[in-house]
């Protein structure tokens, strides 16, 4: 394609990306460098059904005036990035000098909100993505071999987990794994332990979330693999059959190499999606034991008080950097393949 | 039929006409959009607001347990998403901080002649909200179960635990106690109750500097831990509504929840045997203190700053009509403690009055309290799961609060 044609072809979507993705990212970055202006407090008399007393209140006039002078808030540089709720440089330095062993240091590190969330996010990413790719491939292979009349309904059944809204899917499961729900009581029966609860321990909650993640993401891998399977050339397969290759050998030596680039694509998308995990945490009411980076942003913007734009902006930037680091190996690999193909 | 309706409407309008003031009901101009918490008493109140607004009014109400998380974003927009918000002494400060609710003096002067003085929430000489009910958390118990085992009604948390352990040992129930321990606002509130019960102060006097990492904080946390040990293992996912369901299923013999829970626990739905066996008791004290470990709350309404005067007046009128409706209050005497003139309290009011008499403190209305509550909501979980010491958990609470309060400009 000539560069000129490509440019005009790409221009509309490029413009949309710049307007709706690029600019908000830049604005979040600027917001992350600022914190709220100082709150001016005053003592006033407050009366309610329980009586009158003198209490502190924000001096609205003075604070509004400050806000009008600095609409973005006070400039804080990279201060928000380094505070305890983000990268926590001071706390890490202190922990490093004060802790006697690596285990103690790790304990302190993983107790800081950002690193706690990062640990869960990465665990979720790397525990969900490989099974999704493998399962998606197996399901696609199986569906590909069944008779035509059954294919339609089977495909619908297989992609159902993706059709169900994540929040609804996780809520349904949340009720089923309740100690009195059908799955919860079955597990109690299985392990003969009436106090076993999937929701009470952090390990079991993590496992539940990961299984949910696999269940929810497999259809995506299936759809892509299934589409790619339709493009597998029939000639080499027929030749292999004549040569007496078993089904396993045909899959191993013809189908898998053909689907390899597709698998890279699926891994890329899955890692990116799972790095931003949020809905299952809300659906399973797992905020207490499993926090992700996206959940931190959500919490900053929807806590019980004023929205912490600076803090949310900083976490967003760190998430973007995280996604970039995570995808680098896959991208480098794709780039190399692209070069060799040429 | 139509005539009957008109007659009924007429009686209603005429009974709520006041001498001197303008009648608030029968709104025709402006739209009324209300954001409110979700529980039965609020539903009763909102039905009254709707009927006061009348059939011609443009009326809608959004009930959500996440109302506190929605309120700032929804009312900051201009024009605001809602024209009015049901507030409490906990949630009003956040709205006051950002100037999101307006003074109501002129509207009160025009329509509010039926208001009692203690319904007016006056801050710095201006009325910012109108209260209509008082609420508090207190103990609930199943009389037959306590009687069968010869347990006296607990008056301290130490006795609550002893009673729960006795019930557990008898084999009647596996997890006899319940409280709203859901990680988030509920869990924070449980700590607030227990810490105040131990006589703690959240901040160094007159400043926004937090101080909860002390002996009282540790004692409060240890008491919460012991309570969770006699609760359902899923306690971290149970909010007030989930606890009420546990109660109605007969899984729980002792619980500490809101007085307004009576509206759904003592209604005609559900297992009537459990209802007949349900008793209310004062909130227990703790650690040898005399104050009950609970907080006093008022519930009322505020009107958005960022809404037109027309919508503000319409919303105020409809809400005020309900907030002065003696008929509603006396038709539902057990739904809560109404602050409305002419209301005669039902038999469920006792524990709240008792809490007030024994010196329970109202929930602190400080501008930075919600930040501390937020920090408590997330940082106490690991302690309750046994993965962290109480001192460590409280140090985390303080550190999380300091980071947030610094960003908000309080420190």
Pairwise CA distance, residues B99 & B77, whole Å: 12
Q: Please indicate whether, in this complex, the C-beta atoms of A285 and B356 are within 8 angstroms of each other.
A: no
Q: Check whether residue A201 and residue A119 sit in a common domain.
A: yes
Q: How many CB atoms lie within 10 A of CB B275?
A: 15
What is the CATH classification number for the domain harbouring A202? 1.10.3720.10
Identify the domain containing residue A98 by its residue range.
79-111
Give chain A's domain count: 2
Residues of B in contact with A74 (CB under 8 A): 409
DSSP B251-291: --SEEEEEGGGHHHHTSSSS-HHHHHHEEEEPPPB-TT-SS
Is A251 contained in some domain? yes
Regarding an ipTM greater than 0.90, the answer is no
Question: What is the distance between the terminal CA atoms of chain A, rounded to a whole angstrom?
Answer: 15
Is A6 contained in some domain? no
Please say which residue of A91, A111, A131 terminates a domain. A111
> Token pair 């619908």 is at which residue?
A156
Q: Check whether residue B189 and residue B305 sit in a common domain.
A: no
**Kind of pairing between the strands at B337-338 and B126-142:** antiparallel
Q: Check whether residue B248 and residue B389 sit in a common domain.
A: yes
Q: Check whether residue A106 and residue A209 sit in a common domain.
A: no
What is the CATH classification number for the domain harbouring B326? 3.40.190.10
Chain B neighbours among A 89-148 (CB < 8 Å)?
A: 91, 111, 113
Pairwise CA distance, residues B216 & A127, whole Å: 42
- Alpha helices per DSSP H over B208-331: 215-229, 240-248, 262-265, 272-277, 309-323, 326-331
- Say yes or no: B77 contacts chain A, CB-CB below 8 A: no
Q: C-alpha dihedral over B280, B285, B290, B295, to 10 degrees?
A: -70
Pairwise CA distance, residues B206 & B76, whole Å: 28
Q: Please indicate whether, in this complex, the C-beta atoms of B233 and A197 are within 8 angstroms of each other.
A: yes
Chain A neighbours among B 86-115 (CB < 8 Å)?
A: 89, 91, 93-94, 96-99
Pairwise CA distance, residues A333 & A223, whole Å: 23
Residues of B in contact with A299 (CB under 8 A): 378
Please say which residue of A56, A89, A111 terminates a domain. A111
CA distance A164 to chain B (A): 23
Note the pTM of the prediction, 2 decimals.
0.84
Q: Check whether residue B174 and residue B248 sit in a common domain.
A: yes
Q: Check whether residue A222 and residue A336 sit in a common domain.
A: yes
For residue B133, the cross-strand partners are B299, B338
Q: Check whether residue A177 and residue A218 sit in a common domain.
A: yes
Residue B219, token pair as written in the block: 């004692």
Q: Check whether residue A224 and residue A328 sit in a common domain.
A: yes
Q: Check whether residue A98 and residue A159 sit in a common domain.
A: no
Q: Check whether residue A200 and residue A90 sit in a common domain.
A: no
Q: Check whether residue B116 and residue B167 sit in a common domain.
A: no
Identify the domain containing residue B375 by its residue range.
137-295+358-408
Q: Check whether residue A118 and residue A246 sit in a common domain.
A: yes
Residue B304, token pair as written in the block: 């958005």
Is A334 contained in some domain? yes
For residue B120, the cross-strand partners are B130
Please say which residue of A111, A127, A151 terminates a domain. A111
Residue A14, token pair as written in the block: 């490029």
Could you tell me which of B115, B78, B130 has the C-alpha nearest to residue B99? B78
Pairwise CA distance, residues A55 & B243, whole Å: 34
Q: Measuring CA to CA, how many Å separate B316 from each of B14, B129, B194, B329, B342?
A: 19, 10, 36, 19, 21
Is A11 contained in some domain? no
Q: Check whether residue B116 and residue B163 sit in a common domain.
A: no
> Token pair 């519930």 is at which residue?
B299
**For residues B107-137, b (16+ Cβ closer than 10 Å) or e, as one string?**
bbeebbebbbeebbbbbbeebbbbbbbbbbb
Question: What is the distance between the terminal CA atoms of chain B, rounded to a whole angstrom?
Answer: 64
What is chain B's pLDDT, residue by residue, as a tens digit (411 residues)?
Answer: 344 333 333 333 334 444 345 778 888 888 999 999 999 999 999 999 999 998 888 999 999 988 888 898 899 988 999 999 999 998 898 898 888 999 999 999 999 889 989 899 999 999 999 999 999 999 999 999 999 999 999 999 999 999 999 999 999 998 999 999 998 889 999 999 999 999 999 999 888 899 999 999 999 999 999 999 999 888 888 999 999 999 999 999 999 999 988 888 988 888 889 999 999 999 999 998 889 999 999 999 999 999 999 999 999 999 999 999 999 999 999 889 999 999 988 888 889 989 988 989 899 888 899 899 989 988 898 899 888 899 999 999 999 899 888 888 888
Cis peptide before A108 (omega within 30 of 0): no
For residue A55, the cross-strand partners are A44
Q: Check whether residue B226 and residue B342 sit in a common domain.
A: no
For residue B302, the cross-strand partners are B85
Q: Check whether residue A117 and residue A107 sit in a common domain.
A: no
Q: Check whether residue A84 and residue A165 sit in a common domain.
A: no
Q: Check whether residue B222 and residue B270 sit in a common domain.
A: yes
Give chain B's domain count: 2
């Amino acid at each position: 394609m000539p560069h000129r044609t490509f440019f005009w072809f790409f221009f509309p979507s490029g413009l949309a990306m710049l307007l709706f993705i690029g600019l908000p990212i830049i604005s979040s970055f600027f917001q992350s460098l600022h914190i709220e202006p100082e709150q001016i407090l005053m003592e006033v008399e407050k009366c309610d059904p329980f009586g009158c007393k003198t209490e502190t209140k924000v001096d609205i006039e003075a604070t509004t005036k400050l806000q009008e002078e600095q609409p973005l808030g006070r400039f804080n540089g990279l201060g928000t990035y380094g505070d305890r709720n983000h990268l926590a440089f001071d706390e890490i330095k202190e922990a490093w000098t004060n802790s006697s062993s690596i285990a103690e240091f790790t304990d302190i590190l993983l107790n800081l909100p950002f690193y706690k969330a990062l640990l869960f996010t990465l665990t979720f990413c790397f525990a969900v993505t490989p099974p999704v790719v493998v399962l998606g491939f197996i399901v696609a292979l199986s569906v590909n071999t069944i008779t035509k009349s059954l294919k339609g309904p089977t495909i619908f059944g297989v992609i159902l987990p993706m059709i169900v809204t994540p929040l609804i899917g996780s809520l349904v499961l949340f009720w089923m794994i309740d100690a009195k729900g059908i799955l919860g009581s079955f597990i109690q029966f299985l392990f003969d332990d009436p106090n076993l609860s999937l929701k009470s321990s952090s390990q079991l909650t993590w496992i539940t979330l990961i299984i949910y993640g696999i269940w929810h993401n497999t259809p995506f891998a299936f759809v892509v693999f299934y589409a790619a399977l339709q493009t597998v050339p029939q000639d080499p397969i027929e030749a292999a059959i004549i040569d007496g290759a078993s089904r396993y050998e045909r899959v191993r030596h013809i189908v898998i190499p053909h689907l390899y680039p597709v698998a890279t694509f699926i891994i890329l998308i899955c890692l990116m999606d799972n790095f931003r995990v949020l809905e299952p945490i809300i659906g399973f009411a797992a905020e207490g034991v499993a926090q992700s980076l996206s959940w931190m942003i959500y919490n900053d913007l929807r806590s019980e008080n004023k929205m912490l734009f600076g803090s949310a902006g900083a976490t967003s930037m760190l998430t973007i950097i995280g996604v970039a680091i995570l995808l680098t190996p896959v991208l480098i690999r794709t780039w190399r393949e692209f070069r060799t193909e040429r | 039929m139509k005539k009957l309706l008109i007659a009924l409407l007429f009686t209603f309008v005429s009974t709520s006409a006041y001498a001197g003031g303008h009648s608030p009901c029968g709104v025709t101009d402006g739209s009324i959009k209300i954001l409110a918490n979700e529980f039965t008493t609020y539903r009763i109140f909102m039905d009254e607001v709707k009927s006061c607004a009348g059939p011609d009014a443009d009326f809608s109400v959004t009930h959500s347990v996440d109302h506190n998380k929605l309120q700032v974003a929804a009312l900051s927009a201009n024009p605001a998403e809602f024209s009015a918000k049901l507030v409490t002494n906990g949630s009003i400060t956040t709205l006051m901080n950002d100037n999101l609710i307006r003074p109501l003096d002129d509207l009160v002067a025009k329509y509010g002649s039926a208001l009692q003085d203690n319904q007016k929430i006056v801050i710095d000489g201006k009325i910012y909200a109108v209260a209509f009910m008082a609420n508090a958390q207190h103990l609930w118990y199943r009389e037959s179960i306590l009687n069968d085992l010869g347990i006296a009604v607990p008056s301290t948390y130490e006795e609550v635990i002893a009673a729960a352990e006795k019930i557990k040992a008898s084999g009647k129930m596996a997890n006899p106690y319940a409280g709203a321990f859901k990680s988030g606002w509920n869990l924070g509130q449980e700590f607030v109750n227990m810490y105040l019960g131990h006589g703690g102060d959240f901040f160094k006097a007159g400043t926004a500097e937090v101080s909860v990492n002390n002996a009282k904080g540790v004692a409060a946390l240890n008491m919460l831990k012991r309570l969770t040990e006699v609760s359902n293992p899923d306690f971290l996912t149970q909010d007030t509504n989930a606890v009420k369901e546990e109660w109605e299923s007969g899984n729980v013999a002792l619980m500490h929840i809101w007085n307004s829970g009576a509206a759904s626990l003592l209604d005609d739905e559900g297992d009537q045997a459990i209802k007949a066996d349900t008793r209310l008791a004062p909130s227990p004290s703790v650690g040898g203190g005399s104050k009950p470990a609970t907080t006093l709350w008022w519930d009322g309404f505020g009107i958005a700053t960022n809404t037109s005067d027309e919508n503000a007046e319409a919303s105020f009128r409809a809400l005020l009509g309900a907030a002065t409706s003696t008929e509603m209050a006396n038709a539902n005497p057990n739904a809560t403690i109404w602050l409305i003139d002419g209301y005669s309290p039902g038999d469920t009011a006792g524990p709240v009055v008792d809490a007030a008499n024994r010196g329970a403190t109202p929930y602190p209305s400080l501008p930075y309290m919600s930040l501390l509550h937020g920090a408590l909501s997330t940082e106490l979980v690991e302690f309750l799961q046994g993965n962290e010491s109480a001192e460590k958990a409280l140090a985390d609470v303080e550190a999380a609060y300091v980071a947030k309060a610094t960003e908000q400009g309080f420190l």
